[in-house]
Chains A and B, each alone.
With several copies, the nearest count.
Chain A
Amino acid sequence: MQRLTPEQMAERLAQDIPDGSYVNLGIGMPVMVANFVPEGRDVIYHSENGILGVGPTPAPGTEDPDLINAAKQYVTLIKGGCFFDTAESFAMMRGGHLDIAVLGGFQVSAAGDLANWATDNEKYPPAVGGAMDLSVGAKAVYVLMRHTTKDGQPKILDECSYPLTGAGVVRRIYTDLAVIEVTDAGLQVVELHDGNSFEDVQAATGTRLLPPAA
């Protein structure tokens, strides 16, 4: 099977971010999406710690120690950006003011449930951050994740076995194998990445998929 690299996955998702969107990118693979937004589109990135208009990594030596993103990496502010406190930042998120949240995922269910904050390892501390607020608050939640775990187990399942981040919140799943939309009828494959057959992708999935329109 053909698997996209993380860069290719981020690039594919970036194509679906419309001009003028307000977007929150989660920690991990999602933050890479910012590097691939097609030229000519104005996209404003939100960071949960109180930034609207997150810009690129600063040149070495020019870092502002207080100016970091949700992943605690140094960033800059673009022209037209602004700062606010956490309560207001989450008002934006929970209040439906952001167009798209791109989140990583441990598991996604057929009903669009998302699990991405805790596993079943009780010795390893859970960490939720802003994921639950984004999952209920953004107008659209896109999950960017590998189709299967490192040892080949499916991550798209009938039901999530890990604790949920949000129930029925996922709109689309962008994996290294396909793009899948969560619909009332079920998980609709909207795109198979080059060289992958529907049957192969179905075989790597823990729940029934609907084939793409012919």
Chain B
Amino acid sequence: MIDKRIASMREALTDVAPGSAVMIGGFGSSGIPFELIEALRQHGAGDLTIISNNAGVAEEGIAALLRDRLVRKVVCSYPRSQGSIWFERLFEEGAIELELIPQGTFAERMRAAGAGLGGFFTPTGYGTKMAEGKETREIDGRGYVLEHPLSADFALVRAHKGDRWGNLAYNTAGRNFNPVMAMAAEVTVAEVEHLVELGDLNPESVATPGVFVNRVVAQEGMN
């Protein structure tokens, strides 16, 4: 019997050790696993590397992890949205490390990790600071940068619906980074708005097949 359901956000994250690399899905405030992030904050493991497109705004989501000084390093494409006060403060203090990656390269590096590839040549960033220290090559007259897979110990993702096998379906643009992160991490934990019965999801609309997901938790309304 395959049953990936976990009773609570807290229980789904008990094995996150200090120093872990944690991917967090979402873009802006869309498709963000807010309840899992809050549970991660309460769990309290520090020295984290957070891999997520943005770095949180106000006191919400990743911003709360930053405020509580649980994060050593942020890997992202766009850390400063309007209101990213905690990221900006820590950055100015020199209290946080930033690895900035062009957004497409960021997504593709995670996909490469999930797809078992050793790296890829992308034209993005060629001839810019982003290519510094990296292998570059001309292919058919165009410049490319070699980029490597990006994996993590955990991925926290958010879906609209999920079943006990870990199949996930997303709402509108809430999909964004969630599918590639689910592929790329050692352990993928999914926060779902609706836990549905096996067979309730349209098999043609499952955007994350259950094989990529290890744990499924229904939202608790904790935010």
Chain A contact residues, CB within 8 Å of chain B: 19-20, 22, 42, 44, 46-53, 64-68, 72, 77, 79-98, 118, 123-133, 136-137, 163-168
Contact = CB atoms under 8 A, between A and B. Distances in A.
B128 to A, nearest CB: 4
The winner among B113, B177, B180, B209 for most chain A CB atoms within 10 A is B209
Contacts of A85: 107, 175-180, 207
Interface in B104-150: 104-105, 107-108, 110-111, 113-117, 122-130
Contacts of B124: 94, 132-133, 136-137
Interface residues of B, number: 70
B14 interface: no
A126 B100 contact: yes
B28 A92 contact: no
Given A82-B206, A127-B79, A128-B78, A90 B104 contact: yes
A42 B177 CA distance: 29
Contacts of A65: 29-30
Contact of A91 (B101, B111, B167): B111
Nearest to B179: A85
Nearest to B101: A128
28 contacts: A22-B211, A42-B2, A49-B28, A49-B176, A51-B172, A65-B30, A66-B170, A66-B172, A72-B29, A82-B203, A84-B206, A85-B107, A87-B108, A92-B209, A94-B117, A94-B123, A95-B114, A98-B211, A125-B98, A127-B100, A128-B78, A128-B102, A128-B130, A131-B102, A132-B104, A132-B128, A133-B105, A167-B126
Interface of B: 1-2, 27-31, 53, 77-82, 87-88, 91-92, 98, 100-105, 107-108, 110-111, 113-117, 122-130, 163-165, 167, 170-180, 183, 198-199, 201, 203-204, 206-207, 209-212
A192 to B, nearest CB: 31
A133 B125 CA distance: 8
Nearest to B206: A82
Contacts of B210: 44, 52, 80, 82
A125 to B, nearest CB: 5
Contacts of B108: 87, 90
A65 B198 CA distance: 24
Contacts of A89: 107
B29 A166 contact: no
Nearest to B109: A87
A81 B203 contact: yes
B173 A66 contact: yes
A109 B212 CA distance: 32
Contacts of B130: 128, 132
Contacts of B125: 132
A130 B128 contact: no
Given A77-B203, A91-B116, A86 B127 contact: no
B187 to A, nearest CB: 13
Nearest to B143: A167
A91 B79 contact: no
B173 to A, nearest CB: 5
A77 B212 CA distance: 19
